[in-house]
Amino acid sequence: MPGKVWLVGAGPGDPGLLTLKGARALAQCDVLVYDYLASAAIVALARPGCERIYVGKKAGEHTLSQDEITALIVELGRGGKKVVRLKGGDVFVFARGGEEARALAEAGVPFEIVPGITSAIAAPAYAGIPVTHRAHNTAFTVVTGHEDPAKGASSLDFAKLANRKATTIFLMAMGNLAAIVAELQRHGLEDDTPVAIVHEGTKPAQEVLVATIGTVIGEVARSGITAPAVVVVGDVVREREHIRWFDAQPLFGKRVLVTRPAHQSDDVAMLLWEAGAEPILAPTIAIGPPDDLTAARDAATRVRDYAWVVFTSRNGVDAFFDRLGELGRDARAFGDVRIAAIGPKTAAALACRGIRVDLIPATFVNEAVAAALLTRTAPGERILVYRAQEARDVLPQTLREHGRAVDVVAAYATRFVDDPELAAKARRADIVTFTSSSTVHGFVHNVADAAHVLSATTVAAIGPITAQTARDAGIRVDVVADEFTVEGLVRALTVPAA
């Protein structure tokens, strides 16, 4: 039986611009066939175990020819595979998706088209250039700057394109830019017509060169700007002066190393993208079961024996409900037991499972949890602390010193992730973030000379405990969040200190 092929437009680079339908296709595919322009963050959305085949094509460098790519997806579809053919931008805008779709149709392989946001519109938008504007133009044209060489002669009507009031957007034009400009000038386009070249549009590496038809070739030579780029010609380019926004973001162009566990990286990565930064995902720790699950299972079995249960992380919540699931039970197991969460993220993880917490401290550290619990409990009351195997003892110790009966249960363990490339990734970064003491320990585990490697890099910590752990390892800390969440950490990086 044949499989199915989804021809998916990945959009221009920002992973937030992938469509929901495209993400659903990635989540179910057996094989991912992807291009040079497909963002790594989008490629990472393919389901675990999916076979990934890179067929990148950029100017002068083709991993596979177009005929070989088409033959590959037809063969995979015929073999019963669910295949996503991931293409930069939109499938049908100068991406040869029409040829691939026709080959699939002729081969009898079921397929589906998932349109993407074309760079022809998105790259100018991220540069602050609207492709239409009532004060400047009444039409826009999207043109290839790289026609099929087999045609022998250009089929572009430069007489019509040489109109500053009808915006023209050239894709794949950098290699032929001089010839295109010469043709526009020859057909009467004024030398003072504005031109913008948007390199790596929608990405933190975005560069925008603004010139005129008369100066653009010289400016390109001077600046060294290269493909991939979108060229916009027309008076709409002037709007960039007023509505430039993306490259005005507070972290625009910064590379930020994210050291938290892989399964928890998405939220901080998206916040960084929205602030204009490029996240470099480099988890230094992974979350797994504790050395012995007996106590964790037993605590879930007799949870109603406690007056309070304290969760100090989302990982503890996940682990507790994993144990309940093994017992065939759910949130009803808590009965009227009161629940404390160290912070809003942990509380949100509980809320997703139908549990409304009774206590969140004003500051999201164990010391604050202990202080708040002492005001709500009496000596002799039983408290379960469900936490990491390696956690600090300040919370249970403080409670015990004040007469509370505390059981500490290892819900999960953090283990170092070995990454021989971590030092090189850190050197590429402008900012390195640590979201827990464990991420610091994992970094030092991989990078013996961590203090030296980070000596010229901005180091940001999610809170004072994490910052002190870094300092104890000899690492200078430049930024400490006031609110001990990933949102607070990114805010600390983007809002200058008073």
Dist CA 426 CA 255 (whole Å): 9
**Closest-CA residue to 285 (of 412, 410, 394):** 412
> For position 60, what pLDDT does the model report?
57
Among 14, 35, 90, 419, the one annotated catalytic: 35
Q: Cα separation of 414 and 404, whole Å? A: 28
Q: Counting Cβ atoms within 10 Å, is residue 270 exposed (0-12), middle (13-18) or buried (19+)?
A: middle
pLDDT under 50: residue ranges of the chain: 498
Active site residue 172: yes
Q: How far is CA 439 from the centre of its chain?
A: 19
Instruction: Find where tokens 């990945």 sit.
Output: 10
Neighbour tally for 69: CB within 10 Å:
23
The pLDDT value given to residue 149? 58
pLDDT given for residue 58 in this prediction: 61
The single residue of 57, 81, 203, 345 carrying the catalytic annotation is: 57
Other C-beta atoms closer than 10 Å to the C-beta of 380 total 9
CA atoms of 115 and 89, how far apart (whole Å): 8
Please say whether the beta carbons of 171 and 145 come within 8 A: yes
Between the two ends of the chain, the Cα-to-Cα distance in Å is 65
Among 4, 87, 172, 174, which one carries the catalytic annotation? 172
> Which domains does the chain show, CATH number per domain?
4-117 (3.40.1010.10), 121-248 (3.30.950.10), 255-284+417-494 (3.40.50.10090), 293-414 (3.40.50.10090)
Whether 57 sits among the annotated catalytic residues: the reply is yes
Report the candidate in 189, 211, 185, 209 with the shortest Cα–Cα distance to residue 199. 209
- Opening angle at CA 179, ends 176 and 183, nearest 5: 135
